[in-house]
Each structure stands twice: as C-alpha cells, then as structure tokens.
Amino acid sequence: MIPFLFAILVGLLTGILSGFGIGGGSLLMLWLTCVMDVPQLQAAGMNLLYFLACAPPALYSHWKNKLIDPKAACFCIAAGIPLSILGCFLSARLDLSLIRRGFGLLLLWIGIRELFSKQ
C-alpha cells in the first residue's frame, strides 16, 4: 500500500498542475485507477470533488492576472451548464465501455493536436 504522505504529495502536485491548467485532474485519474486500484467511476467522483477544491484558487489567479476573457467566460458558462446536465443524463444511459473508448479517443486527439500545433 502506498504510504499516506506520498498520496498527499501526489494530490498536492496534481493540484498545482491543475492550477496551471496542465491537466492535473487527468493525472489524478491515472494515479487513482492505475496505482491505487480505485474503480474508474469512484475515481471520477473523487476527481470532481478534487476539482471543486482546486478550481477557485486557479480562477482567482487567472482573473487577477487578466487571463480570462469575460465574454468568452459568459458564453462557456451559458453553454456549459445545460450541456453538462445533458451529458450527465446521457452518460447514465450509455455503455461504460463506450464512454471509456470515447474519452480515450478524445485524449488521443487532443494530444496529437497539441503535438503538432504551431504555438
């Protein structure tokens, strides 16, 4: 079993990466499922709770440094709330293996796109 302090260190590091927008939540999911043997559904729930703790300080920092476009944020909030509710209901009706494959393809597509982006 992984020592408790090491698990806290992993949580701290993935939280810092989340604050920078690097994808600490994805790393936390990998840690929970691959190393800690947490079932994927429970890991996803833990990741959502983890996000609630990491998001406010990151949001404050980005807002303070004027890194957030208010118009884009309003659009994302207006679209994100109803679509996340719809996604929640759809995911409850879809086969879990289909969701896993879709998420894996999404991560692969994002990774390839980032790898070959000009910026």
Over residues 62-78, the pLDDT tens digits come to: 899 999 999 999 999 99
Q: What is the pLDDT of residue 79?
A: 97
φ, ψ for residue 118 (rounded to 5)?
A: -80, -15
DSSP 116: T
What are the tokens at 57?
């300080």
pLDDT of residue 5: 87
Instruction: Please list the ranges in the chain whose pLDDT falls under 70.
Output: 1-2
Predicted confidence at residue 1, as pLDDT, reads: 57
The count of other CB atoms within 10 Å of the CB of residue 14 is 24
Q: Are 25 and 14 in contact (CB under 8 A)?
A: yes
Torsion sign, CA atoms 37, 26, 100, 115: negative
Contact 43, 32 (CB under 8 A): yes
